[in-house]
Amino acid sequence: MNTALLLLPDFSLILLGAAIRRWMHLGDHFWNGVEKLVYFILFPALLINAIIKTRLDLGAALPLLATAFIAMAGAMLLGLLPKLFSRLPPLTFASLFQCGYRFNSYIALAVAGMLFGSPGIATMGLIVGTAVPVVNLVSVWMLARHGESGLWREVARNPLIWGTFAGFLLNLAGFVPPAPVQAFLGRLADASIALGLIAVGAALRLESSPGVRGFSLWLLAVKLLALPLIAVFVGQYFGLAGLNYQVVVLFAALPTASSAYILAMRMGGDGKSVAWLISATTLGSMLTLPLWAAYLLG
């Protein structure tokens, strides 16, 4: 119960975003602007601010990242199983498939910060910054026959990757920002969590295309239950403990990313069903994430 109360403010912000979207009628242009502000400015500042203040243990990074990537690979294999008997159109299948292993970076950093402070954000930032290009490549590869040029440019310009890289570079160089710079980054970091979670809530959708519900429910179980369970066993096998073990399991338990919808729409996929699955994993994680956190902190 205590763990659920710790995460309640974050999930309340998501629900607040959904309520604002429904009742204030601010329009798509407003929400697109909020999303860009958070994605390109505020979240990179959050990553840099957390990483430069945290003492890094690079020796523990390899088993940490190995656990995260093995868990995602397991989710990909489980996501492919229904293809053996599914009658879904290939493009619809590819659109939904990505929801089984992609992760919401906003919720990732918010939960890590709420439970573990700056060290948690730095550890989660390392996983997120490393995993973002990989999941983008896999997702685009599955949809590749329907055309997406400029993939490498999109990956190279990803602000979460660059924010992580810049933070670690400054940390390893021993850079200590002056007090005004620290305050500036801190203000941006504080704003990023609230606006990011409100934007997640504003993006919730509850309608899907007919004929996809079975596969969607399978992916929902893979994302919220199977993937973190894989991380539990793999992390224990690699001897992870403490913060690294806790963060990587929570990473595996995250709902899927809203960017999955953007990619599906841009490549002519089933954006409507992807939006439903993103919403389902987000709402479902309000139940499962506190349970995983209670297991880790108990």
DSSP string, 116-132: HHHHHHHHHHHHHHHHH
pLDDT value, residue 149: 44
Query: 9-25 pLDDT, tens per residue?
Result: 888 888 998 899 889 98
Q: pLDDT above 70 covers what percent of the chain?
A: 89
Q: How many CA atoms lie within 13 A of 212 on its CB side?
A: 26
Asked whether residue 262 carries a pLDDT value surpassing 80, the answer given is: no
Centre a 10 Å sphere on the Cβ of residue 85 and count the other Cβ atoms it contains. 6
Res 246 pLDDT > 90: yes
Q: State yes or no: pLDDT of 160 exceeds 80.
A: no
- Express each pLDDT in 110-145 by its tens digit: 899 889 988 998 899 889 878 877 887 788 777 765
**Taking residues 256-282, what's their average pLDDT?**
80
Question: Per-residue pLDDT tens for 200-239?
Answer: 888 787 776 667 788 889 999 999 999 999 999 999 999 9
Average the pLDDT over 268-277 and give the result: 81
Q: Which domains does the chain have, with CATH numbers?
A: 2-297 (1.20.1530.20)
Q: Give the pLDDT score at 148.
A: 47
Highest mean pLDDT (candidates 108-112, 179-183, 250-254, 283-287): 250-254
Q: Would you say residue 60 has pLDDT above 80?
A: no
For residues 113 and 121, what is the distance between their CA atoms, to the nearest angstrom?
5
Q: What is the pLDDT of residue 274?
A: 84
Three-class DSSP labels, 244-283? HHHHHHHHHCCCCCCHHHHHHHHCCCCHHHHHHHHHHHHH
**Alpha helix positions (H), 1-147:** 2-23, 28-37, 43-52, 61-80, 90-97, 105-142
pLDDT band at 147 (very low <50, low <70, confident <90, very high): very low
CA distance 145 to 142: 8
pTM, to two decimals: 0.82
The closest alpha carbon to 122, from 64, 37, 191, 38, belongs to: 64
Q: Cβ neighbours of residue 114 under 8 Å, at least 6 residues apart?
A: 6, 7, 9, 10
